[in-house]
Structure 1
Amino acid sequence: MTRASLDKQPHEVASMFDGVAANYDLTNDVLSLGQARLWRKEVAKAVAARPGQLVLDLAAGTATSSLPFAATGAYVVPCDFSLGMLSEGKKRNPWLPLTA
């Protein structure tokens, strides 16, 4: 495993996320003690997207962050530069238009 540093190239960062995609959301839940779920809901509440509005979710990873927006009826486009994260998100939510 390589350590994070500010001089990493984008493809190296994407590759790192590709490698952890399958367990990313579980790890995030554990490390945040469940707070990540609450933060996603609070962000969606703050944005206050309405049905039919377009939401571009940048750095969406597996699109878990996109689900609260979709629940409001907004059209959400999850976007990420990690193809591994997007692939995992597509497996879980095939109806979302995940975009690289």
Structure 2
Amino acid sequence: MNEENVSFGYEDIAPEEKTSRVGGVFSNVASSYDLMNDAMSGGMHRLWKDRFVRRVKPRASEAILDMAGGTGDIAFRLAKSGAAITVADINAEMLQVGMERAEKRKIAGLVWAQENAEELGFADNSFDAYTIAFGIRNVTHIQKALEEAHRVLKRGGRFFCLEFSTTLWPGFAEAYDLYSHKLVPKIGQALAKDEDSYRYLIESIRRFPDMPTFKAMIEDAGFVQCKVEPMLGGLVAIHSGYRI
């Protein structure tokens, strides 16, 4: 791959093109977000998100940034603690879905912000915790996003990332690979009339760094005490670290 190129699924493209094309994908899937996650996880994403938020341990006195959280799935769970939650996403359509869902659920007090994970508009040392769930693999320059997460966290701040990875369970890995590549795009076409977006989302998982590599990237961004908690053999993993 050309050093100046980045991955978009199985394609290698210019960075500015990825930002635009990923934006198009999420504009397309915003209205079918739950369906997308159900298709990609067999409905298990709800349990994974519950577990993720338990690991974050949000507290009422805290300020938490939920990045790439436009539709509110993580923020709604975090908000139950009474913490001050800022929901940030680069995609306006995803944020709109989240705001509408919050209104329907009568969840008030969330701050909604359109932000690029690579160039956050928040001051240094602004947040006690930074969360990102199923979003960082879609960032154009992942290392920049990790460095920005480190910058906006206070000393002692916590970084938590929930992301698909590569399962190491023999047999299950092959079965999920078949399901995801062959069936998920067809499900997207049948139910959301959008096969291409679902195909990209599956391919983006395959191009994402494996667990040890991503852990090293988090450490390179300045985080310490970094850990990886794999689920289903690593099909999905919770990555965490601290800023000191």
Which of 44, 47, 64 in structure 2 is aligned with 1:55?
64
CA offset at residue 86 of structure 1?
Answer: 0.5
Provide the aligned C-alpha RMSD in A: 1.7
> 1:75-99 CA distances to partner (integer Å, 9 max, x unpaired)?
1111111111011111111433221
DSSP-derived class of the 1:57 partner: strand
Contact 1:14 1:83 in 2 (8 A): no
2:41 maps to 1:32: yes
Cα distance between partner residues in 2 of 1:15 and 1:97: 24
The match for 1:45 is 54
TM-score, L = length of structure 2: 0.37
Cα distance between partner residues in 1 of 2:58 and 2:12: 34
Cα distance between partner residues in 2 of 1:37 and 1:45: 13
Contact 1:21 1:88 in 2 (8 A): yes
Question: Could you tell which deviates more after superposition, 22-31 or 57-66?
Answer: 22-31
Contact 1:59 1:81 in 2 (8 A): yes
* Bigger proportion of residues as strand: 2
Larger Rg, first or second structure (1 or 2): 2
The match for 1:78 is 87
Cα distance between partner residues in 1 of 2:112 and 2:34: 16
- Structure 2 stretches lacking a partner, 5+ long: 1-7, 115-244
TM superposition outliers: structure 1 runs of 4+ over 2 Å? 3-9
CA offset at residue 18 of structure 1?
Answer: 0.9
**Percentage of matched positions with identical amino acids:** 31
Structure showing greater relative contact order (alpha-carbon pairs closer than 8 Å, 6 or more residues apart): 1
Cα distance between partner residues in 2 of 1:22 and 1:11: 19
